[in-house]
């Protein structure tokens, strides 16, 4: 497909970001700092929250429907040609959207393209890139049915984006994951920078107003930054972005300074991840959708709202370990409203409710998510509680507009 379209991906000065959780936040920090440095920045992420257009942005502006339509018309003949060839067959939706993103960024002549891996890495559609630098965020168990049963197996898939000679920044990892990354980088002659060793990171404060961290790159003295995104886990995401920004500086992106990084980190936006919607009731939206994500949410709730009663609207996909996930969060909630994610792969609300009930929480079932959040709001106002919406990015994306009124 890309050959038929003139290889737009080869025209992109790109950063490639893989990992399990934290890819989007890392991309958001990198994007905001690069924009603050005066760069034109394309960003390709998935899934979206409220609109498909959010997946393909330039300087935070989602692609317009007109541009999306025009790109589809450009790509359509090549798509049909490939689909008609029995050697290849029909492209997937993700392959098509990746091609559209590459075309859009190449046509727009962006200064930097930030490309997030869709799933895994080795066989991901985005892995045709030859980027300037590579970021690997925290690795955890997720999509085991596709990526493998354990962390080393998953790490090998994620490490598939490491390219010969291209520098890599990795978040702190468990030893067996870091070993996979180090071995792969060594085999491919790729320099590797690790958070916790080459990039020193310390969380100094976590509040509803932001997260303060100290970051030091190699031998440089650490500097304090305020992160606009909430939760101590954001320290590693910002540290990976910080490392990538240092590598870009070394590659000639002269506009990137400590001041533009500070401005970017303090203005980064990534909705639906420990996102507080003020009002009555106060609502916390979090797209945590696997055990690792639920652990992060659990830590965030304990740190940001230690003495606040909380209830939740929860919907989870069926291929997740629902029962394990319920145990992680159950202790935070007085009440859980189980609902159904708007997806063919949704877990039935009965399963979600049963899992939380088994973990000792009062539950009820409201199958329609729109009714579930209304019920949650009513209970939260009446009982003066924080309302948490979590379990799936699809659920958070659907309900986020209703959180504002």
22 and 122, same domain (yes or no): yes
**pTM of the model as a whole:** 0.93
259 and 283, same domain (yes or no): no
- Which residues of the chain carry a pLDDT beneath 50? none
Please indicate, yes or no, if residue 1 is contained in any of the structural domains. Answer: no
353 and 251, same domain (yes or no): no
User: Per-residue pLDDT tens for 101-157?
Assistant: 999 999 999 999 999 999 999 999 999 999 999 999 999 887 778 888 899 999 999
Helix 23-36 × helix 258-267 angle, to 10°? 130
pLDDT at res. 145: 84
pLDDT at res. 85: 95
- Domain stop point among 267, 293, 317: 267
Strand 133-136 to 112-116 pairing: unpaired
320 and 370, same domain (yes or no): yes
208 and 286, same domain (yes or no): no
CATH number of the domain encompassing residue 206 = 3.40.1190.10
Please indicate, yes or no, if residue 248 is contained in any of the structural domains. Answer: yes
User: Per-residue pLDDT tens for 283-322?
Assistant: 999 999 999 899 999 999 999 999 999 999 999 999 999 9
pLDDT at res. 191: 98
Range of the domain at 191: 8-267
Distances (CA, A) of 15 to 34, 115, 268, 370: 12, 6, 17, 38
User: Per-residue pLDDT tens for 375-390?
Assistant: 999 999 999 999 999 9
What is the DSSP secondary structure assignment for residue 305, as one 8-state letter? -
174 and 284, same domain (yes or no): no
158 and 225, same domain (yes or no): yes
Q: What tokens does 67 get?
A: 């541009």
Percentage of the chain surpassing pLDDT 90? Answer: 95
Number of domains in the chain: 2
Return d(Cα 19, Cα 137) in angstroms, integer.
5
- Domain stop point among 239, 267, 295: 267
- Residue pointed to by tokens 């790509």: 75
203 and 55, same domain (yes or no): yes
CATH number of the domain encompassing residue 335 = 3.90.190.20
């Amino acid at each position: 497909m890309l050959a038929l379209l003139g290889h737009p991906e080869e025209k992109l000065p790109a950063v490639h970001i893989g990992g399990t959780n934290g890819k989007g936040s890392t991309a958001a920090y990198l994007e905001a700092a690069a924009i603050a440095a005066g760069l034109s920045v394309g960003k390709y992420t998935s899934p979206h929250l409220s609109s498909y257009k959010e997946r393909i942005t330039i300087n935070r502006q989602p692609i317009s429907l007109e541009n999306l339509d025009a790109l589809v018309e450009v790509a359509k003949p090549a798509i049909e040609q490939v689909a008609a060839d029995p050697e290849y067959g029909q492209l997937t939706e993700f392959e098509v959207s990746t091609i559209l993103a590459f075309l859009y960024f190449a046509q727009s002549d962006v200064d930097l393209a930030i490309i997030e891996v869709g799933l895994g890495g080795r066989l991901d559609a985005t892995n045709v890139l030859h980027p300037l630098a590579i970021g690997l965020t925290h690795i955890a168990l997720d999509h085991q049915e596709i990526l493998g049963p354990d962390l080393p197996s998953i790490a090998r898939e994620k490490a598939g984006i490491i390219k010969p000679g291209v520098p890599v920044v990795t978040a702190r990892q468990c030893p067996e994951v870091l070993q996979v990354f180090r071995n792969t980088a060594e085999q491919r002659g790729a320099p590797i920078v690790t958070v916790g060793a080459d990039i020193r990171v310390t969380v100094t404060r976590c509040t509803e107003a932001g997260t303060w961290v100290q970051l030091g790159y190699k031998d440089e003295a650490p500097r304090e930054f305020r992160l606009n995104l909430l939760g101590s886990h954001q320290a590693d995401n910002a540290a990976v972005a910080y490392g990538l920004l240092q590598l870009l500086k070394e590659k000639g992106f002269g506009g990137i300074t400590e001041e533009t990084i500070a401005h970017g980190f303090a203005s980064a936006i990534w909705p639906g991840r420990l996102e507080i919607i003020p009002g009555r009731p106060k609502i916390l939206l979090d797209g945590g959708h696997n055990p690792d994500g639920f652990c992060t949410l659990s830590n965030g709730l304990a740190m940001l709202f230690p003495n606040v009663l909380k209830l939740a609207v929860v919907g989870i996909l069926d291929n997740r370990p629902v029962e394990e996930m319920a145990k992680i969060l159950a202790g935070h909630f007085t009440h859980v409203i189980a609902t159904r994610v708007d997806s063919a792969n949704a877990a039935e609300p009965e399963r979600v409710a049963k899992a939380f009930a088994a973990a000792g929480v009062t539950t009820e079932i409201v199958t329609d998510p729109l009714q579930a959040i209304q019920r949650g709001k009513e209970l939260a106002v009446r009982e003066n509680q924080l309302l948490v919406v979590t379990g799936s990015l699809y659920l958070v994306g659907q309900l986020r507009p209703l959180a504002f009124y």
